[in-house]
Structure formats: structure tokens, C-alpha cells
Structure 1
């Protein structure tokens, strides 16, 4: 017959245990799975996720030390841990052990509000950038028109100067021949 005891201990997830023990999450799962195979009972949440209490943390820490300090397999280490730790008492997690969903809900709402605010701000900045782009394009077009007008005027002026110089040379030629033949 199972002896169920209610505890108010904090329960930790596999990822939290992995951080505490300084091991990878898959390693923590492997150790927990092997301990369960050997007969050690670990609490489970309603969604069937493992929940570790202090006793479990000590057992996993001991298993880790056995693996590091001796040349035993995970299965052998789990059996040694099972002999050392009492597994008769199965603890159930009370609602106080589960994460404070109100706190997470509040944090979620705050993050959601922040994301909405940032999205609105990004939209405003996007509109400002579009206006700046339009202004820059307008100014570039105006500059290009003015530049083309200036270049055209300069070319026309150079043509007029060249035509005037050509006419002057023609006049000089005529005057030279007219002086030559008049005498």
C-alpha cells in the first residue's frame, strides 16, 4: 500500500535541476529515467512532467557524484542511490508547489503590452522614414533638374562662344584677304 504524504516543498522542473546540478537537460532526464527504472519514484505533474523536490535533488546529486568519482554505469549508480535513499514515501505536490500562474500571467500581460507598444512605435518610425524617403527623393529630383538646366545652359553658352570665335576667325580671314587684294 502506498503511503502518500502531502508536502509544501517547492518542486523543480528538469531544466531547473539540470542547472542546479551543472549537467545538461538530456543528462538529467537520463538519470531520472534510470532511477525510475530502478524503482525510485519521482513526482509527476498533471501533464506528466517530472517534478523534483529536495530529496530528489540530493539523490540526483549523489548519482552524479558516483558517476564522476567512480567507474560505474548509470544503472549501477541508480541502484546504489536507490539503496541509500528511502523510496517508500511518495510525495504529492500541492498547488502551492506549482508555479504561480498569476505572476506569470501578469508578466505575460506586461510583455504583451510592451510588444504592442513597440509595434506601434515601430509603425510610427516606419511612417517617419517613408516621409523622409519621399522628401529625399523630391529633393534629389529637384537637384537633378537644376543640374541638368545648368549643364544645358553651359553647353549653349559654350556653343555661342564657339560660334562667336568661329565668326571672328572668319572675319579675320576676310579682312586679311581684303587688305591683301585692295593694295
Structure 2
């Protein structure tokens, strides 16, 4: 556990670190995960990392290194471990039975100053967290509104598209029915024409057959009758 917070030291959120270092918040989280993976310790508020100046300097080292991230993170974790060995937890903690009246007033004053600074840093972090939560709620609300607008727009567009498709389908059906009716009328007309031609042909054939029969009968009749028949045709 870390005990290296300094008097009047400011705490930073992930967003503030990203703005100061000039990288994305996701990149800050990525570097933080790499540091923790190699043994580096952060101050924590639950699962949320709280950055101090030494942490920001570590993030900058990773940002600017040309080495693999894990190798640099491992070196930084080792350096932090050595640095923390110079701090003593009892220098910052007061037990329930601690008697400050027997201590040097200046030492007590310094201790209270450190605690006051820690309290101020905690309050600042709480304010920042509150602001972040407010921004998050605003963002979520806006996303919900955008989702509603997009959903409504998609629904309206789908309805319009469906109505247009229905109209086109109806027009196509009407056009098809008209063409079908026209083709049926043409077919019926052609059938009538063909039937008329057949009837006329049959009449012509019957007329020709009658003529051939009369001619054949005339040929087989006596000469006088034949001459009378010819004279009839001549008249």
C-alpha cells in the first residue's frame, strides 16, 4: 500500500491526466494497467485510479519510451518500490489510543497538516468524481435522446419505404392486369379472324366442289344437254 502522498499534493483523475499528458483517456488506462500488471501501485477510490504527480511522470515515461511498454512499466514499478521503502506507514497514521499531548507540538502540527492535505485532496477527488458523474449522466441522457431520434427516424423511413413499395406493387399489379386484359382481347380477336377465314375457306371449298360436280354431271349428259349447259354459261 502506498504512503508517499506529499503535503498539498494534488490528485488527478484519468481525464485530467489525459489532458495534461496529451493522450486519450483509453491510453492512460492502458498504461495504468501495464504498470499495475508489473507491480506498480496507484491510490484507489474503489476500482478507480487516483493519480498524483509521480504517477503522471510515470505515464509520460511510458508515452515517450521506445522500449516495449511492459519492460518500461516493470522498471518504473521497481523504482517506485525502492522509493516507497523510504516511507513509513506510522508517519501518516494515528491510532485510536495515540496521545498527541506527549509529542512535540511541531511534529503534531506537521502531522495534522499532512492529514488536512490528504482530506483536501480527497474532497477535491470527490468534487471531480461528482463532476465526472454529472458529465456522464448528461452524456447518457444525450445518447438516449439520440437513440430515440435515430429509432424514430429509422421507423418513419421504414414506414415510408414500405408505403412506397406497396404503391409500386399496386401500380405494377394494375399495369399487369391491363396488359393481360389487352392480350386477352387481342387473342380473342385473332381467334375470331382465324375462324372467319376458316368459314370463308370452307364456303369457297363447298362452292368449288358444287361447281366441279355440276361440271362433271354436264360432261356425262347427252350432247344436246351439254350444248344447252354451255349456252347457259355463255349467257
SS in 2 for 1:6: coil
Say yes or no: does 1:82 pair with 2:83.
Answer: no
SS in 1 for 2:41: coil
Say yes or no: does 1:16 pair with 2:26.
Answer: yes
SS in 2 for 1:100: helix
Task: Please identify which structure carries the higher helix content.
Answer: 2
User: Given the superposition, is the C-alpha separation of residues 59 and 108 from structure 1 closer, same or farther in structure 2, using an over 3 Å criterion?
Assistant: farther
Give deviations 1:77-103, integer Å, cap 9, x for gaps: 432233567986xx9852245683214
User: Given the superposition, is the C-alpha separation of residues 173 and 105 from structure 1 closer, same or farther in structure 2, using an over 3 Å criterion?
Assistant: same
Deviation at 1:61, TM superposition (A): 2.5
Structure 2: which 5+ runs fail to align? Answer: 85-120, 219-225, 227-235
Normalized against structure 2, the TM-score is what? 0.52
Aligned partner (choices 122, 129, 137) of residue 165 of structure 2: 129
Structure with the bigger RCO (C-alpha within 8 Å, sep 6+) is 1
Give deviations 1:73-128, integer Å, cap 9, x for gaps: x3x4432233567986xx98522456832145224413421331231132122123
Find the aligned partners of 1:126 and 1:54 in 2 and give their Cα distance. 57
C-alpha RMSD over aligned residues? 3.9
Deviation at 1:36, TM superposition (A): 0.9
Find the aligned partners of 2:77 and 2:134 in 1 and give their Cα distance. 28
SS in 1 for 2:11: strand
Contact 2:58 2:76 in 1 (8 A): no
Say yes or no: does 1:100 pair with 2:135.
Answer: yes
Q: How many residues align?
A: 163
Q: Which moved more, 1:146-155 or 1:92-101?
A: 92-101
Larger radius of gyration: 2
Which residue matches 1:180? 216
Normalized against structure 1, the TM-score is what? 0.64
Structure 1: which 5+ runs fail to align? Answer: 19-27, 69-73
Task: Please identify which structure carries the higher strand content.
Answer: 1
